[in-house]
Structure 1
Amino acid sequence: MNDLEKRLAALQIDLDNTWQKLQINQKIENLKNLEIQISEPEIWQNPEHAKKVNTNFSRLKAEVEPWQVLKIQASDLYDIIALKEIDLLDEINDQLFSMEQTLLELKKALRFTNPLDEKNAILRITAGVGGTEAMDWASMLERMYLRYFEKNHFNVELIERTAGEEAGIKTAVYEIYGNHPYGNLKSEHGVHRLVRLSPFNADNLRQTSFSLVEILPILESDDDYKIDEKDLRIDTYHAGGHGGQSVNTTNSAIRITHLPTNTVVAIQNERSQLQNREKAMEILRGKLIMMQQEQQAESINQLRAGESAKWGQQIRNYVLQPYKLVKDTRTKYEETDADAVLNGRIEGFLNAYLESQIGS
């Protein structure tokens, strides 16, 4: 067996082992079932359900297809090597190297061991105390994540956004769809701290600002996570219009309080009351399951009062003055090009966190 044959055999073993660990055969079956559902005309009688099925189909297809292609390529390369054509050696070597690199990239999926990792995600950004300065920082984070989503082909849907009076945002809520959205983004959950010369300070003094970023898995129904109705207080109120310029004449806004934990979720994005309730329940389910994991509780009934993400020690520092540095307090990963990070280049932080969690 020559060197190329040995490398291809090793790649095939690695491919088969990873294929099995990631349950690719089961995912292929799931993909076929989703395709059948999409082909049935009745599904489009419920547009919201059809959209979710179609989104899950696209996500799963994007995940499975590269594995199928690589398996076919490995089989074809076996046949080519068997011909022992000397004039094809350089071409075979290049193709084999490309396949090895592809497998290394695909194996990153092994970092997603939590069943929630494949779920779509909710991104919620909330400005901390500090008025306009803090709200501007929240909008900078919003821009950073939107740039990252755009570059990495995530689908994004704005759920709610409240602008600040002078600049920035008070809060923004987005739903994120794509390849392992929650798994990829869970490292961002926590408090983000900015140090810079304030553009809103007449003396141009150095200012520290905080924003809370919440990354929550989307659990679309009570089948995913059952919440007892008696534990909920649901209030309705008039929703503000775009940018707070007008007020609805109907009580379409929803505020849901989970009484045992005092967890509150409010949505007022000018949809119907029913749609606002569904979105609020999605966020609430995400918050509660995050609390359950953080508190290592066996069930929802064991949760203690508290927020899913706390206004405590920051997870990441963004320093723009007197030097430039972005550093994660958990992994110690850092980058000196703070402008690039704030422009959406956060892959290094995401990967460092995922790598730190392997085997933990």
Structure 2
Amino acid sequence: MRAEAQSNVEKIAKSVDLLKQRLDWETAPHRMEEFDAMIEDPTLWDDPARAQKLMRDRQALLDSVEAVRKLEGETSESVELIAMGEVEGDDDIVTEAEATLSRLVSVAAERELEALLDGEADGNDTFLEINAGAGGTEACDWAQMLQRMYVRWAGKRGFDVELQSEESGTEAGIKSVSYKISGLNAYGWLKSESGVHRLVRISPFGKGTRETSFASVWVYPVVDDDIDIDVNPSDIRIDTYRSSGAGGQHVNTTDSAVRITHVPTGIVVTSSEKSQHQNRDIAMKALKSRLYQMELDRRNAAITEAHENKGDAGWGNQIRSYVLQPYQMVKDLRTGHETSDTSGVLDGALDGFMASVLAQQVAGKSRADAG
């Protein structure tokens, strides 16, 4: 076997070992048996929220176990094909098997990162808010570009995207938008996107000048129904107002939009896409999720520091820079990860950036634990 192929086999084996450690491989079959026994309980669906969480956790374990077995199986098969091809002098078989090993290295690396999404809320669905910052109309247009980027990213992962509220810009773009994004580890992946995003480009609004725009992104997990978040009614203010959506299906013709302000923390959440009753329920759930996020932040000093430093959407607070002029570059200012494929990123190719932040957080946590 050639050196590169041997190296790839060793990389895959190392990844598989790490995956098995994080899965606690020896106990995985017993945990699956426990899940199966609970699923057979005829009273399970008396509590739909608990049942759905159980089914989600079972599927996550099943997917992880099957992924490890598939990696092992395809690697073993490729090694056998290389050996056979070398004996028979069939270079085509060898080349094809080596290409498979190269692909499996990438698959194994992605699985390793997914296995690191083991935070308390990483597996949850998530809320994502985008707000235009400094830059006027330019910033509103930039916020809309980010809106498209995240919707595209979610679509590529097969996640469900549900619009919660949207406020259009005065001349173009959007002032703010909020989504609920549902899918396995949706919060775990997207949490790295919280912060200020900076755009540098030639203005598309006839100025012909290079402009810098800012928009802030805020990500927080959807709270499972079995997590109790107490909200004192005297601590909140509920306002209704007429939505100013982007038009078409998003126009509200009555004062049905709801804004809830949590006075002690200053948190404000809105919903404007449903009836007033539904909007009130959606906004309250979003508020509880924001309060839960604050509790998660309190428990995790690193995340707390990141959010405290997020600041206003302006100079000095950005986590990522998107430069379209005078050159093409997207760079994460926390990890140094960068790419010149700006159109790909703006079309939703964000996995590399998310993975770099996740790897950095895990490395920091490991150093802290060792210390």
TM-score tier (shorter): 0.7 to 0.9
Asked whether the equivalents of residues 263 and 307 of structure 1 are also in contact (C-alpha less than 8 Å), the reply is: no
The change in CA–CA distance for 1:43 and 1:207 in structure 2 (over 3 A counts) is: same
8 Å CA contact 2:223, 2:292 repeated in 1? no
In structure 1, the partner of 2:163 is 158
SS of 1:315's partner is strand
Contact 1:34 1:57 in 2 (8 A): no
| 1:335 maps onto 2:336 in alignment | no
**Inter-CA distance 203–257: structure 2 relative to 1 (3 Å threshold):** closer
Partners of 1:291 and 1:308 within 8 A in 2: no
Which SS does the other structure have where 1:192 is aligned? strand
Q: Which amino acid aligns with 1:355?
A: A
Q: CA deviation at 1:324?
A: 1.9
Counterparts of 1:353 and 1:211, CA distance in 2: 19
The residue type equivalent to 1:327 in the other structure is K
CA RMSD between the two structures: 4.4
Alpha-carbon deviations, 1:327-347, whole Å to 9, x = none? 111111111222222122222
CA distance 1:254–1:31, shift in 2 (3 Å): farther
> Are 1:214 and 2:215 an aligned pair?
no
Identify the match of residue 116 of structure 2 among 107, 111, 114: 111
> Which consecutive unaligned segments of at least 5 residues does structure 1 have?
81-85
Q: Which amino acid is 1:218 matched to? A: V
Q: Is the 8 A contact 1:220 1:282 kept in 2?
A: no
Correspondence 1:161-310 to 2 at 5 A: 161-200=166-205, 202-221=206-225, 223-230=226-233, 232-240=235-243, 243=246, 245-248=251-254, 252-273=256-277, 275-296=278-299, 310=311
Tell me, what secondary structure is at the counterpart of 1:256? strand
CA distance 1:9–1:318, shift in 2 (3 Å): closer
Amino acid at match of 1:279: I
TM-score by length of 1: 0.75
Instruction: Report the alpha carbon displacement of residue 292 of structure 1 after superposing the two structures with TM.
Output: 3.5
Distance 2:329 2:268 in 1: 35
| Structure 2 letter corresponding to 1:168 | G
Structure 1 position 346 matched with structure 2 position 347: no
- Whole-Å Cα distance in 2 between the matches of residues 259 and 352 of structure 1? 36
Letter in 2 for 1:323: Y
Distance 2:188 2:195 in 1: 15
User: What is the Cα deviation at residue 264 of structure 1?
Assistant: 1.6
Aligned residues: 342
Contact 2:322 2:330 in 1 (8 A): yes
1:11-90 aligned at under 5 Å gives the runs 15=16, 18-23=19-24, 25=28, 28=32, 32=36, 36=40, 43=45, 62-70=63-71
Give SS of 1:171's match: strand
1:1-53, Cα deviation, whole Å (9 max, x unpaired): xxx9xx9999779646633423562763575368558xx7995997x998877
Scaled by the length of structure 2, the TM-score of the pair is 0.73
- Sequence identity of aligned pairs in percent? 33
Residues 288, 308 of structure 1: 8 Å contact kept: no
The alignment partner of 1:115 has SS state of coil
5+ residue gaps, structure 2: 82-86, 365-371
